[in-house]
Chains A and B, each alone.
Chain A
C-alpha cells in the first residue's frame, strides 16, 4: 500500500462524506493479481472448496491471458467493509478505485435490499464464509472428501434456489393444520358458534397433520436441509452454509446495474470535485474511468450485450440531472434493478444510448426488433429473474420419501433443459437418498416427468 495513495484515501473519504455518502468504514488491502482473480472466481475471499470453482478459475486464467479482463477491485459490504485492490494498480487507478469502492459502500449500507439481506446474514459475510470453509474442511477430515463433495455438488447446484422473502433462519413448517375453530375472526362464524356451541365444537375433532410442504416451496436449499428423510446433520449444515452465502449474493446479483452505476457515478463525481489530485493522476484516472464505463459497442458498431457499468452510470447521471441528488438517493435506497430499469430507463435515454431489442435464432441469425420500451426493459432484466434460475419448487413428499419437484413452466415460458436437469437430480438424489420426480414440459408443451434414480 503506497503512502501516496494512503494519504489520498483519507481525503477522498472526507470528500465523499461531505458529498452526502454515508458508508461504514472500509478496510483497503492491496493483494496480488492472482488472489484478486481467486476472489472474483469464488465471490468471497475465503470460500468452501469445490471443483466447479476450479473450472471457473481456469476460464478466468484463460480470459486474463487473452487480455479480456482486468480486475481493479473487489469490495465486500459489511461493517467494516473489505476492499481488495490489485497490487498492479497504478496510483491513478487506485484513486479512482477508492472513490468507486466508497460508492459501493454507500450503496450497500443504504439500499434496502442490501440492508434486508445483511440484516439476515449479518455484516460479516467474509468471516462467515471463511468459517463455512473451515467447517467444510473439518467435514472433509471426518467424513472424507468424496462424501463432502457429493453434498457440495448438490448444494451448489441449487445455490440459486432460495426464497429471499423468507428468513435466513427460518422455522420449520407448523406440524399440524390450523384448527378451523380458531378462525373466529369473521362475525358470521362467531355468531354461528354462539348459536349452537355443540355443533361448532364437533367441527374438527382431531388435529390434522399439515402436508409437507404445505405450499410449493421454492427455498429448495432450506427445504432439503430440513426435510430430507435421511440426511446427515453435517450435510444439512453444508446446505445451510451454501444458502447463507446465496443470501449474501442475491442483492449483489439483483442490483448490479444500480450498484455498479452508482459507484461509477460517484467515482466520476468525486474525482471531478477532488481538487487535491494532481493533474496527471486525474487524467489517468479519467482514462481508466472511460474504459470501465465504456459501452460494449464502442469498438464494434453493434453489441449484443450491455455493459451494466455503462447503463447504470448513464441512468444515474440522467436521474441526478433531472430529479436532483436527493431524489436519486431515495431511488438508490428503495429500488433493485427491476424497479430501477422499469421506472427510470426512459424512451429518450434508451434512444440516446442506442439500446435495442433483438431476437436471435439458434443458427446465429440475429434480427433487430421494433422499439418497445417495456419489452426492452424485460429483455435487459430477463436474465435476472428469480436469481437467474428456472422456478423449481418442492411440491410434495410422498409417504415413501419420494420428493416431487415441479417446474413452473408457465411462468418461465418454456421447459427445462432435460439433460442438465437430470444431472442435477442425480446430485440431489445422493443426499436425498430416496427417489426424486421432477415435472416440467417438453418442447411441445406437454407435461414430462424426470426421475432419479
Chain B
C-alpha cells in the first residue's frame, strides 16, 4: 500500500507520548518494525505532519519498554544470538497487549534472514510472563 507521504516531515526522530504525558524520543528508523507506526507516520494524518504520536491508552512504563524494544530491535536486527530483553513481570500483560496493538507480533518477514534475529516483542513478553 502506498501511503501518501507528501507532507511528512522527514525528521530523524519521532516522539511517542504516553497517556500520562511522558514523551519518548525514538529513532524513526527503529520504529519501522511496527507496521502500525510505519503506516501512521506515512499516512497524511496529524502524526505524520507533526512527528508526535499520542497513545492515550498506553501508560508510561509500558511505552518506555516499547521504545526500548524499538532500539533493541534496531541494534540487533542484523545479528545472530541476541540476548533477551529484560521485562519486569508486572508489565508483561500490558506490554503484550501494546505489542498486539502496534503490530509487534508479526512473524519475521520472509525476506529477512532465516537465523534467529531476536524474538518479536509479543513473544518476549509472553515468555517473561
Q: A and B bound?
A: no
B-binding residues in A (CB < 8 A): none
